[in-house]
Structure 1
Amino acid sequence: MGLLEAGDEQTWTAQLVALANDQGFPYVLFGLLPSRQTRFSTAFVRTNYPAAWRARYSDAGFVHIDPTVAHCLKSTLPLVWSRATFEEALAGAMYEEACAHGLRSGVTLPVHGPQGELGLVSFASEHAPDAACAHRMAAALPVLALIRDYAFASAARFHEGALEPGLPRLTRRELEVLRWVMLGKSSWEIARITACSEATINFHLANVRQKFGVNTRQQAVVMALGLGLLSTEEQRR
């Protein structure tokens, strides 16, 4: 309730830190984007992570190799940190630096909002990520998930209007249709694949072109690829 009743961002952040401390985590980070199409650099972030680590993380662009961020982009499940989480070389080097700042173990919970919001809440501590630590964190997950949900709901009044308007948001159906266009399918073929009418497919594509401000579906595909909404790996497959 302290999160819901906080009158300003400073009080809200202090309440979030206090809740994390109650669960045995001295550090917590809440980050949110209005949509998947928005740049990471514009995220609404509130945290008590060490300032030196935050500066280093930002300067090095670690957000693009951070496996906890990658996890939240594709999953709704919590992630308990382990050494295996950071086994990739670049992520491993990032993790070693995080450890030097007192962030050795933790739990990251994805945020996926009803309007396409995307984010995470990470709870971290200085304890080694051994089996006993992982067990304690797993036991705390129900409470941490509740904190995550209240944090997301209560933070809206602070970040609304502060987040970058960002790039046009595409619906899941629009992305699906655009993906088939990228693979060379016609409207008629996409209609057969998706069990929709050809008119519906053309309607979705018209919306995409309007949102991107382009004239052709091919231009829309190029823009979506540039924004990372579509993958060239899918093209090759």
Structure 2
Amino acid sequence: MLQGSFQSVLEAKNRDEFREEIVRFAQDLGFETVTATVVLDRGPGNAEFLSVDNAPVGFNEIAYDPSLGKLDPVMQHVKRHSVPIIWSQFTYVQNGRADLWEEQARFGYCSGICLALHLPEGRHFIMGVDRREALPSDHQQLTRVVADLQLFAVHAQEAAWNVFLPEGASLEQPLPSLTPRELECLRWTMEGKTAWEVGGILGISERTAVLHLNNAMHKMDCNNKHQAVLKALRLGLIR
């Protein structure tokens, strides 16, 4: 079911369709609310924010207050890191911001997961899913949820730039020059194989497989292997 969402969000043609797809995905994942934001840096202290969400009435009055954003530990984390943050009341208490958690908890934002993709040319994509109840206590289940969100976010950010800034999405760039080995590693990664498994399939070490994937990511200006796979597919480098 979730894999169908990956393709569906790529096919969104406008903001309403994009919003519908991310809401459907979040609810299938077990979350009530979702926010997706693109950020375009236009110079020091000058950034453009464009968002879609299904927030309850009244919540955005506090969510988009710049002064509060500077105090929010979740927002400060995604501003600086690409690793997802799994947050709860404890996150805010630990950072001395229990008051912010209590404010947003009134709207059902009690726990969630948030991540950011920091892209070239001053572009950023932030996606968060939230709910009233606690997150799964089972580590494997929670890891699977985070992985699904990460993979969906890679697809969603491609769609977001087309929906929000179509003029920027149409810029043509020369195809990156990937070696046959780098392409093979991307193909097997597309099939869900780990670097260790890719190494076994190709008769190389896990370390060498990671090196090929890192080289491919660097050549395509991608921050992770899933984003590199998606871009390679879009450019027709792998099928």
**Both proteins in one fold, TM over 0.5:** yes
Q: What amino acid is the match of 1:150? A: H
Give the CA deviation at 1:140. 0.6
Give the CA deviation at 1:110. 1.3
Q: What's the TM-score once normalised by structure 1's chain length?
A: 0.61
Q: What amino acid is the match of 2:144? A: A
Which of the residues 25, 39, 45 maps onto 1:19? 25
Which of the residues 140, 149, 167 maps onto 2:145? 140
Distance of 1:133 and 1:123 partners within structure 2: 18
Q: What's the TM-score once normalised by structure 2's chain length?
A: 0.60
Distance of 2:79 and 2:115 partners within structure 1: 11
CA-based RMSD of the aligned residues comes to 2.5
- 1:92-125 CA deviation, whole Å, 9 max, x = no partner? 2111111111110100011211222124110101
Q: What amino acid is the match of 2:160? A: A
Matched, 1:111 2:114: no
Q: What amino acid is the match of 1:148? A: A
Quick check: which one's helix share is greater?
Answer: 1
Contact between 2:34 and 2:129, CA under 8 Å: does it hold in 1? yes
Distance of 2:65 and 2:147 partners within structure 1: 34
Give the CA deviation at 1:161. 6.8
2:69 alignment partner in structure 1: 63
- After TM superposition, the runs of 4+ consecutive aligned structure 1 residues lying more than 2 A away are 35-40, 56-61, 133-139
Distance of 1:5 and 1:74 partners within structure 2: 30
Distance of 1:133 and 1:99 partners within structure 2: 23
Aligned length: 160
Work out the percentage of aligned pairs sharing the same amino acid. Answer: 21
Q: Larger C-alpha radius of gyration, 1 or 2?
A: 1
Change (3 A) 1:52 1:95: same
In structure 1, list runs of 5 or more residues that go unmatched. 164-237
1:4 alignment partner in structure 2: 10
1:153 alignment partner in structure 2: 158
2:102 alignment partner in structure 1: 96
